[in-house]
């Protein structure tokens, strides 16, 4: 059972602070099985998962550099260096891909997208439950159609996020959280 304590301790670990080892085969299977247990109105399964690991991480970084430099010839070399190294820290990156049926007669596209977002969040929770750190990142590559083509996405698919998973090399930072009073209210109907 999920405890409130585990939710209250959830932290995103910056991908640069993640290293080997990543989940082994059994842990990865457990993690992915848990990640896909999300709300899914209409049982559409409007998402899929794509693992990026081993040499594929560096190859994806190299491809991002080439794409970025072609699209933006004046891009600073420091930005290209970040693109090159983006996927080289965590041993496992899971791209969560939304498969949206835009004109579905019953299930709005937003509900499909939210279901995919829940998969990404479950990956974060599941990684932490297994003793790993994780971070959900997007960046320009998540929204670029050429990157989508590189990853083999169909026209109705898009990257919701790249979830980086690995062993935490230093304590995960805490950040300021909003005060509950600032984000919670109660609706009262007009008399």
Tens-place pLDDT, residues 61-117? 999 999 999 999 999 999 999 999 999 999 999 999 999 999 999 999 999 999 999
124 token code pair: 């974060």
| Packing angle, helices 25-35 and 109-129, rounded to 10 | 140
> What pLDDT score was predicted for residue 173?
79
Range 20-169 classified under CATH 3.40.109.10? yes
Query: Beta strand 157-168 with 18-19: parallel, antiparallel or unpaired?
Result: antiparallel
> What pLDDT score was predicted for residue 171?
86
Contact between residue 166 and residue 132 where contact means Cβ atoms under 8 Å apart: yes
CB atoms within 10 A of CB 141: 24
pLDDT at 174 over 80: yes
Distance in angstroms between the alpha carbons of the first and the last residue of the chain: 42
């Amino acid at each position: 059972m999920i405890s409130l304590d585990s939710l209250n301790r959830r932290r995103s670990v910056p991908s640069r602070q993640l290293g080997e080892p990543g989940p082994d085969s059994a842990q990865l299977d457990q993690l992915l099985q848990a990640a896909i247990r999300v709300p899914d109105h209409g049982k559409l399964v409007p998402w899929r998962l794509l693992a990026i690991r081993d040499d594929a991480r560096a190859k994806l970084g190299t491809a991002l550099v080439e794409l970025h430099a072609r699209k933006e010839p004046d891009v600073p070399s420091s930005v290209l260096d970040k693109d090159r190294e983006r996927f080289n820290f965590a041993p496992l990156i899971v791209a969560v891909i939304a498969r949206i049926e835009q004109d579905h007669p019953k299930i709005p596209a937003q509900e499909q997208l939210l279901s995919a977002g829940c998969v990404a969040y479950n990956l974060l929770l599941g990684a932490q439950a297994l003793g790993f750190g994780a971070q959900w990142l997007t960046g320009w590559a998540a929204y670029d159609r050429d990157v989508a083509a590189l990853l083999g996405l169909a026209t109705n698919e898009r990257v919701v996020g790249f979830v980086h998973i690995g062993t935490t090399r230093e304590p995960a930072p805490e950040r300021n959280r909003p005060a509950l009073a600032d984000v919670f209210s109660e609706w009262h109907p007009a008399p």
